[in-house]
Structure 1
Amino acid sequence: MTVINTNVSALYSQNAMKTNARAMSTAMEQLSTGTRVNSAKDDAAGLAIGQNMTSQIRGLNMAVRNLNDGINMMQTAEGAMIEQSNMLQRMRELAVQSMNGTYSSVQRSYLDLEFQQLNSQINDISTDTTWNDQVLLDDSVGTFTFQAGQASGQTISIVIGDMGNGSTGLAISGESIDTYANSATALTAITSALESINQQRATIGAGINRMEYAVDNLTNISSNATQSRSTIMDTDYATATTALAKTQIIQQAATAMLAQANQQSQGVLQLLK
């Protein structure tokens, strides 16, 4: 039956062109953005998974940054303790030297001058060593906690005690080497102070090692998660380019068929002549 009010062939062609135009638009968007899933309509499940992975990756990367900051902080603390240890070693040498029976009281007082200056500097280091305005060695903070993962509770804590020369710290503030007896007492106190610093440095070193291993692990997890997210979210250019070429060919064919369908209606005019 030949009719002109309803051109079914033309309607089919129009619908095909609309559907194909949407597919072409999607392919062009994927190619221009580099992202396969640009909205929920593209892949609702993929979008949800991709967003979750993005949150995970950003959390992991921030944890890596936190730990690197923590490593730098602890290295600062240990560097200060190395200087304290060097000073204590020099103080120990002076104490041993002062215990030589050939020295007079006046000569011992000269040795004690350097001894007291070093003692004061050890305490100054404990109060002046800071990182981001936090004093590290005076026990004002005590426990330093670093976020070591993307989730709550994934932390690493390092305790730093009082590294000052007072009674709660290295306990050498009242020592002197101006007499033989005082030198002997100071020698014992200095030996104990050195042991305290060695123990604290061991604690810090273990903490730094743990944080470095944690950084390596988090970086590995982040890299794998990034690769997985890329598989889900990123455009496969070979596939998208093929899809675009396909839709362009179909669009050209549909346009030609629409023209043919409209031409059929023109044939009815020939019957009216």
Structure 2
Amino acid sequence: MKIENPHLSLFNQISEKNKTLSEQLSTGKKVNSAADDAAALQIINRLTSQQDGYSQSIRNAYDGISYSQTADSALSGVNDAVSRIRELSIQAGNGALTDSDRQALQEEVSQLQTQISETFENTTFGGAQIFDGESRSFQVGPDANTTQSLQQTDGGFANAILSVDISTQAGAQAAIDAADTVSEDLNSQRAGLGAFENAVSSTIRSASNQRENIAASQSRIQDTDYAQAVSDQVANDILSQASIALRGQANQSASSVLGLL
């Protein structure tokens, strides 16, 4: 005749609890599988997806800033060239110069004009031409249509300075006016780039705050409370030792009953 130990079920429950607590302490997570808490696991996975979305959109936004900074750096070089052309034009307008002198100045202007043209033609970002007159849209949020766009110039506004010739006094006067007009357009373009960078930077700060809040929410649901888990493990160990002692007593009682039979 076999007598069932009434404390075996309790011992098994205590063992399972100890296994769960050990896993929580070793992984740092109180939800390690659907068996731990199916509803909580679904929430954790959703929050993880949201965090990943914000992280990628922040990287996209930084790409947008880098793109804008590359364009601004190129336009800064163009601005320097235009300023130099204006300076040479003022010099060429001086009646004390000979035609030969003005021709020498024009040679430097021609070099600067080539520099400007090459800047607009060859400036690229990620292998793509920047100054193509197209609009660039950057995905700066985790949801559909959370984008910020930048309308880029094709450099056409600089054509006025590319055609000047200061080898004559009249040409020098026309070049001064052209340089002033192009400088205004350059300032407008660079102001637009600066505004775009500021807007994207603000978006990055907002997205970073959102990501941190989501991470905090996920942590509260997922992460192990070590103080509580250690306390539970100590209590569970005491129950385990008590259960072992009870099993020993139960086995002795069962042996006594069998002896009487």
Q: TM-score range by the shorter chain?
A: over 0.9
C-alpha displacement of 1:16: 0.5
Quote the Cα distance in structure 1 between the aligned partners of 2:208 and 2:58.
Answer: 7
Segments of structure 2 that go 5 or more residues without pairing to the other structure are: none
For residue 7 of structure 2, give the secondary structure of its aligned residue in structure 1. Answer: helix
Which position in structure 1 is the counterpart of 2:145? Answer: 153
- Kindly provide the CA deviation profile for residues 220-256 of structure 1, in whole angstroms up to 9, marking residues without a partner as x: 1111111111111000001111111122211121122
2:194 matched to 1:205? Answer: yes
Pairing 1:206-225 to 2, within 5 Å after superposition: 206-225=195-214
For residue 35 of structure 2, give the secondary structure of its aligned residue in structure 1. Answer: coil
C-alpha displacement of 1:271: 2.6
Count of aligned pairs: 260
Pairing 1:165-204 to 2, within 5 Å after superposition: 168-171=156-159, 172-204=161-193
| Alpha-carbon contact 2:3-2:254 (below 8 Å) kept | no
Quote the Cα distance in structure 2 between the aligned partners of 1:133 and 1:5.
Answer: 81
Report the TM-score when normalising by structure 1: 0.91
| Alpha-carbon contact 1:162-1:170 (below 8 Å) kept | no
| Alpha-carbon contact 1:50-1:229 (below 8 Å) kept | yes
C-alpha displacement of 1:188: 1.9
Counterpart AA for 1:161: T
For residue 170 of structure 1, give the secondary structure of its aligned residue in structure 2. Answer: helix
Pick the aligned partner of 2:102 from 99, 108, 119: 108
Pairing 1:113-152 to 2, within 5 Å after superposition: 113-139=107-133, 142-152=134-144
| Alpha-carbon contact 1:137-1:160 (below 8 Å) kept | yes
C-alpha displacement of 1:134: 1.6
Report the TM-score when normalising by structure 2: 0.95
C-alpha displacement of 1:159: 1.0
- Kindly provide the CA deviation profile for residues 139-195 of structure 1, in whole angstroms up to 9, marking residues without a partner as x: 3xx2121111111111111111112xxxx3311322111112222222222211111
Which position in structure 2 is the counterpart of 1:261? Answer: 250
Counterpart AA for 2:188: Q
C-alpha displacement of 1:217: 1.1
Counterpart AA for 2:145: G
2:31 matched to 1:43? Answer: no
Percent sequence identity over matched residues?
Answer: 35
Segments of structure 1 that go 5 or more residues without pairing to the other structure are: none
- Kindly provide the CA deviation profile for residues 17-49 of structure 1, in whole angstroms up to 9, marking residues without a partner as x: 111111111101000100111011211221111
